[in-house]
């Protein structure tokens, strides 16, 4: 769930400093001592998570244009929750928290000096967006079948362990390829692959992944791998012939009525880092959740094939936790709800039965995948579900 490593930070001159916005200057006031977001201090992350795309010397990006007519997020009655929201946000170190119920805004709050006009980085929430673009590419005929092999679309992967891996297995993270996603280990694959020096003319990610060995037969083991979601993005780009940012704007950002343009951080070889790193407004993360909740429809027609979204958002493989599973880059629950998750507290929770979307941005204090903060967020989701159920029961009793 991580941005593995950012490119080296270059010095800026005095003129450059005064041309930067306040968020970027705030970042520079807490200049990192190393290159990797996983090991930045909390103050550095507070400043950087809202400004990654405005630091051209730190990370290149591509714009995801929005349309001219944002979709309306009408206000609803404030939702009465059985928890102290202020205490919850303080514990999460929340930058943004927005609850939609039946398409209405039932709660919207901000923290860390962030607001509705700012853009916060998604981290692995981008994985679920990338997955939806796979569905769109199937619907558009760019991808023939979910059972096609990865090397059918990425020629440089021929002869590697990925010859045996289907697109479906890539999306469910059941490739069986060896991978280490330990965020605390600077020698893990997730920490090393962005620093890999590729062979001339080969995408850096492809160059790294095609050398990895097989650890289990394809389709038999679930293992979380940011590298493989990045490979999904390369596959979609090859299949569609378009940058991911352009395809996302065309299929979702414009037709779903996003309010602000977004940005997508690029790798050293100039491709969107598709397992990470979209910068967007909290309200637009919520709009994406609502778009998925409404069946990914534009003008009454879904952008993905019939039945595809149900497959994507329901359990395709177990993850070793009771009541939980994994779909096509979505985390799933036995009650039919599902979520997108990113390190340090980013998330979109969707509950179709209750017509509920919860979008959150944060900077967890302890670690990238803080178990205590993660469980507190899960408890908050359950509290919101409880509040919605109590409202429904009260209406039924009248």
User: Is the distance from CB of 256 to CB of 71 less than 8 angstroms?
Assistant: yes
d(CA 90, CA 336): 29
Q: Nearest 5°: phi and psi at 70?
A: -65, 145
pLDDT of 12 = 34
d(CA 27, CA 19): 14
pTM: predicted TM-score of the whole model, two decimal places:
0.92
d(CA 277, CA 265): 6
d(CA 354, CA 356): 5
Of the ranges 56-70, 111-125, 262-276, which one carries the lowest mean pLDDT score?
Answer: 56-70
Share of the chain above pLDDT 70, in %: 90
Other beta carbons within 10 Å of 149 = 19
3-state secondary structure of 12: coil
Q: Report whether pLDDT(299) > 70.
A: yes
> Predicted confidence band at 55 (pLDDT cuts at 50, 70, 90)?
low
Q: Give residue-wise pLDDT tens across range 239-265.
A: 999 999 999 999 999 999 999 999 999
Q: Give residue-wise pLDDT tens across range 310-356.
A: 999 999 999 999 999 999 999 999 999 999 999 999 999 999 999 99
The arithmetic mean of pLDDT across residues 13-31, rounded, is 49
pLDDT of 13 = 34
Give the residue with greater pLDDT, 43 vs 250.
250
User: Is the distance from CB of 325 to CB of 316 less than 8 angstroms?
Assistant: yes
pLDDT of 21 = 59
Q: Report whether pLDDT(48) > 60.
A: yes
Domains, the chain: 14-75+79-397 (3.40.710.10)
String of DSSP letters for 151-213? GGT-GGGTTSGGGG-BHHHHHTT---B-----TT-TTSHHHHGGG--PPTTS-HHHHHHTTPP
pLDDT of 293 = 98
State the average pLDDT for the chain. Answer: 90
d(CA 294, CA 114): 28
d(CA 218, CA 176): 5
């Amino acid at each position: 769930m991580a941005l593995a490593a950012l490119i080296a930070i270059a010095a800026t001159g005095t003129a450059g400093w005064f041309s930067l916005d306040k968020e970027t200057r705030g970042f520079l006031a807490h200049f990192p001592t190393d290159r990797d977001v996983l090991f930045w201090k909390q103050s550095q992350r507070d400043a950087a998570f809202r400004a990654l795309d405005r630091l051209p010397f730190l990370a290149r990006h591509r714009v995801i244009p929005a349309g001219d007519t944002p979709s309306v997020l009408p206000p609803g009655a404030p939702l009465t929750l059985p928890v102290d929201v202020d205490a919850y946000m303080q514990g999460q170190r929340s930058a943004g928290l927005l609850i939609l119920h039946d398409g209405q805004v039932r709660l919207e709050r901000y923290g860390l000096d962030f607001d509705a006009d700012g853009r916060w980085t998604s981290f692995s929430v981008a994985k679920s967006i990338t997955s939806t673009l796979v569905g769109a590419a199937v619907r558009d005929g760019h991808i023939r079948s979910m059972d096609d092999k990865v090397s059918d679309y990425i020629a440089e992967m021929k002869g590697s362990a990925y010859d045996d891996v289907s697109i479906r297995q890539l999306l469910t993270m059941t490739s069986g390829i060896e991978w280490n996603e330990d965020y605390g280990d600077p020698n893990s694959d997730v920490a090393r692959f962005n620093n890999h020096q590729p062979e001339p003319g080969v995408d850096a990610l492809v160059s790294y992944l095609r050398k990895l060995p097989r650890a289990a037969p394809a389709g038999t083991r679930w293992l979380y791998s940011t590298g493989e979601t990045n490979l999904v993005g390369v596959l979609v780009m090859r299949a569609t012939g378009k940058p991911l940012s352009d395809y996302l704007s065309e299929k979702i950002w414009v037709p779903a009525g996003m309010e602000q343009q977004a940005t997508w951080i690029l790798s050293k070889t100039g491709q969107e880092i598709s397992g990470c790193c979209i910068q967007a407004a909290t309200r637009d993360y919520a709009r994406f959740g609502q778009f998925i909740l409404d069946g990914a429809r534009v003008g009454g027609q879904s952008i993905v094939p019939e039945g595809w979204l149900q497959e994507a958002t329901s359990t395709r493989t177990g993850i070793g936790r009771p009541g939980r599973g994994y779909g096509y880059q979505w985390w799933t629950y036995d009650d039919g709800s599902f979520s997108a998750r990113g390190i340090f507290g980013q998330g979109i929770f969707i509950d179709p039965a209750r017509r509920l979307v919860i979008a959150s941005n944060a900077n967890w204090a302890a670690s990238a995948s803080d178990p205590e903060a993660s469980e507190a967020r899960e408890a908050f989701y359950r509290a919101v579900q409880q509040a919605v159920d109590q409202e429904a029961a009260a209406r039924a009793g009248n």
